[in-house]
Chains A and B, each alone.
Chain A
Amino acid sequence: MTTIEVDTRGETCPVPLVECRKALRKAAPGDEVIVTGTHPASKKEIPMACESMGLEIIGIDEENDEWKIRIKR
């Protein structure tokens, strides 16, 4: 099991969502994908995308304007 980190800080629609999906496609089942970003809508939309793909969100942290979403592939 490996951890894949994706940094989308400063990126806007649709880049955080797209980069998250690209990382999830490359990840193997059991891997953890951690997406960091600042785009406000993506903080809601990445969990929405994971839900529709049947993937589990391990946690969402937020500090100032920066969020971190941990996804189990």
Chain B
Amino acid sequence: MSNKAVIIVHSGDMDKLYSALIIANGSLSMGMEASLYFTFWGLERLKKGGLEKGPLSKMNFLGLGKWMVKSRMKKANVAPLEKMMTDFKELGGKIIACEMTMEIMGVKQEQLRTEWIDEYGAVGTYVHEAKNAEITLFI
């Protein structure tokens, strides 16, 4: 088994993206490798200007709930997603974008934050990444 965490980011919800990035950065900090596979609604967050745009998965209330949670997070000094992503890349984290989602949603490479993306792949890429990983999650 290789010391690795592979996480599928299926949801584009803000809180779930936080979970994915915190676990991924925690894994890298514990000396493991980490990969994030962005698919479906998760891929929206890789679009330019899209990282912080996700709604809250529960009690979003047309953005009011998100606004409340964000202000509480600011008070608690929680790092913004942009910093977590920068840390993820600095610590050697790998990002895979799902090609099929790009085709279905009509997303072009130039719409994405390509500086973050290491690979464009499909299910085979995920299985290849995850088959020897000690942690794999679907968020």
Taking Cβ atoms with an 8 Å cutoff, the residues of A that contact B are 10-15, 17-18, 20-22, 25, 48-49, 52-53
Cα–Cα distance between A28 and B90 once the two chains are bound (Å): 17
Tell me how far the C-beta of B77 lies from the nearest C-beta in chain A, rounded to whole angstroms. 5
Structural contact, B76 and A12, CB atoms closer than 8 A: yes
Tell whether A52 pairs with B30 under 8 Å between CB atoms, given A18-B87, A21-B91, A22-B87: yes
Structural contact, B30 and A15, CB atoms closer than 8 A: no
Q: Give the total number of A-B pairs whose CB atoms are below 8 A apart.
A: 43
Taking Cβ atoms with an 8 Å cutoff, the residues of B that contact A are 22, 25-26, 28-31, 76-79, 84, 87, 90-91
Residues of A within 8 A of B22 (CB): 13-14
Structural contact, A20 and B77, CB atoms closer than 8 A: no
Residues of B within 8 A of A13 (CB): 22
Tell me how far the C-beta of A33 lies from the nearest C-beta in chain B, rounded to whole angstroms. 13
- With both beta carbons as reference points, the residue of chain B lying nearest to A16 in the complex is identified as B29
- With both beta carbons as reference points, the residue of chain B lying nearest to A25 in the complex is identified as B91
Tell whether A10 pairs with B77 under 8 Å between CB atoms, given A49-B30, A53-B31: yes
Question: Which 7 A-B pairs have CB atoms at the shortest separation, nearest pair first?
Answer: A53-B31, A21-B29, A17-B29, A49-B30, A18-B87, A14-B25, A14-B26
Tell whether A21 pairs with B76 under 8 Å between CB atoms, given A13-B22, A14-B22: no
Tell me how far the C-beta of A43 lies from the nearest C-beta in chain B, rounded to whole angstroms. 14
Which of the listed residues B29, B79, B87 has the most CB atoms from chain A within 10 Å of its own CB? B29
Residues of B within 8 A of A20 (CB): 29
Structural contact, B77 and A12, CB atoms closer than 8 A: yes
